[in-house]
Amino acid sequence: MSLTREGIAWRIARDLPEGAYVNLGVGIPVLVANFLVRDREVFLHSENGILGVGPRPTAAEVDFDLISAGKGFCTLAPGAALFDQQISFTMMRGGHLTHAVLGAIEVAENGDFANWRVPGEAVPGVGGAMDLAVGAKRVFVAMTHVTNKGAPKIVRTCSAPLTARACVKRIYTDLAVIDVSAQGLVLREYAAGLDLEAVRAKTGVPLALAPDCRAMDVPDTAADGTRLRQP
Amino acid sequence: MIDKKMADCRTAVADVHDGATIMLGGFGNAGMPAQLIEALREQGTRDLTIISNGAGTGPFALGALFGDGRVRKLIASFPAPSSAQFRERFLKGEVELELVPQGSLVERIRCGGAGLGGFYTPVGVGTELAAGKELRTIDKRDYLFELPLRADVAFIKGHLGDRLGNLMYRGTMRNFNMVMATAADTVIAEVDQLVEVGGIPPEQVHTPGIFVDRLVQVERHPKLLAVPKEGGGA
């Protein structure tokens, strides 16, 4: 059945290759850090000035000068580098990050997406969202397939304020993995046990099927026991 | 002998005038010049334009400047949802907000400090933040023109500093501090520790003293030393 938020993150982690330099946005994306594939060297970037973000510290390990972009305390991975904002955004905007995994309010079929301003939120904040969306080599979106009210988040055109035009390469949801191609959206994988028509019904635009379209290979639980699929 | 050391924060900020444009370094609580900001608050300076990544992290320092109604305009990338004090003033229409993508904010400040007249960036094209900006196509890609930013004063924070103004940071303190040190008429640094000249190895001088006008050794602001909950969410 459908994936949990952690399940979406687990699935994305499988697609980050050795040598990837990745920025993880807030929400489901940051969970990817918990499920990185062992024995692959993947470096996590934090826009406030870290390449090589490590796990959260224990209370005894906390360093008040060491925080990640979410403003929470972090540690450094072996081989980490620290730098200022000019270098950090040169990495982001200059195409040096191999991947950005970002949350979204909506994704359009041409790869436009909206994630920085929730409609109705009176105080806007953009941070580095637009820089990542424009600059990362591959932009992955991680989100639930539909809104809390059941409306599709994959749509013909975004109604929420855009973050960037035509930049999303792949969409990961609790129901599916979908590629954004010049010919439109292509369904690559769907949650095991789901009816394809049910996925299409929850998607606001047509989905072509990849030649090797298949059920997602996601176990019920991760190695640490975290639930990856809804019971 | 050059000596940029000041006795205390109050003295260091005494000539910052009403109506000033001030850059504030820091990202979250890391590298935030909280003691300089508190000294400015105590002297009552008002009608300020603030250039900062955010709008403060609580009811102290920048958050308190908003709470006290001292800020006329904020130029920032991420004022939401961190500061209740900003939010309240903004929703009442008492503070103007210029929202800038974070990388463009950095680069505008860099241009201001590097003698450049602006730059073209692909960031923001096709979004509501492109409003009013020149659009130019270069080699088939669309770009927006962004103007430089400068300030009357910058408040920054370093870890170590010497009387010449050389600074070294630690952890993620560098953030906006390094670039803001280049882009204001007067740059005032607070540091955790003053050291003798030579106390910072030349290879580890992150901000060369040429950019710094005054520096003060301070205790860490207590709000920046709050004991975190488990795992340290902030």
Q: What is the pLDDT of residues B76-90, one digit of tens each?
A: 999 976 689 999 999
* CB contact A64 to B (< 8 Å): yes
Q: What's the whole-number mean pLDDT along residues A208-231? A: 95
Residue B118 CB neighbour total at 10 angstroms = 15
Residue A88: which H helix or E strand, with range? helix A85-93
* Residues of chain A contacting residue B172, judged by C-beta atoms under 8 Å apart: 46, 48-50, 65-68, 82
* CB contact A17 to B (< 8 Å): no
Look-up: residue for tokens 């008492």?
B94
* Residues of chain A contacting residue B179, judged by C-beta atoms under 8 Å apart: 84-86
Return the pLDDT at B227: 55
Distance CA A5, CA A174 (A): 7
A47 is catalytic: yes
Distance CA A49, CA A82 (A): 6
Segment 138-177 of chain A within 8 Å of chain B by CB: 161-165
Q: What's the whole-number mean pLDDT along residues A60-67? A: 94
Identify any residues that bridge with B99 across adjacent strands, giving them in sequence order.
B76
Q: Which CATH number fits domain A5-215: 3.40.50.2300, 1.20.210.10, 3.40.1080.10, 3.20.20.140?
A: 3.40.1080.10
Q: Which carries the bigger pLDDT value, residue A195 or residue A131?
A: A131
Return the pLDDT at B83: 80
Selecting from B79, B91, B206 the residue whose C-beta is nearest the C-beta of A125 gives B79
Question: Per-domain residue ranges for chain A?
Answer: 5-215
Given strand A106-108, what is the order of strands in its sheet?
A113-114, A106-108, A154-155
Close Cβ partners of B129 (under 8 Å, ≥ 6 residues apart): A126, A130, B99, B100, B101
Q: What's the whole-number mean pLDDT along residues A123-130? A: 94
Close Cβ partners of B228 (under 8 Å, ≥ 6 residues apart): A59, A62, A73, B234
Return the pLDDT at A121: 85
Which domain does B110 fall in, by range?
9-125+133-218
Q: Which of A111, A103, A169 is nearest to A136 (CA)?
A: A169
Q: Residue B196 pLDDT more than 50? A: yes
Q: Domain count for chain B, please give it.
A: 1
Q: What's the whole-number mean pLDDT along residues B18-31? A: 97
Is B233 part of a structural domain of the chain? no
Is B227 part of a structural domain of the chain? no
Is B111 part of a structural domain of the chain? yes
CATH number assigned to the domain comprising residue B83: 3.40.1080.10
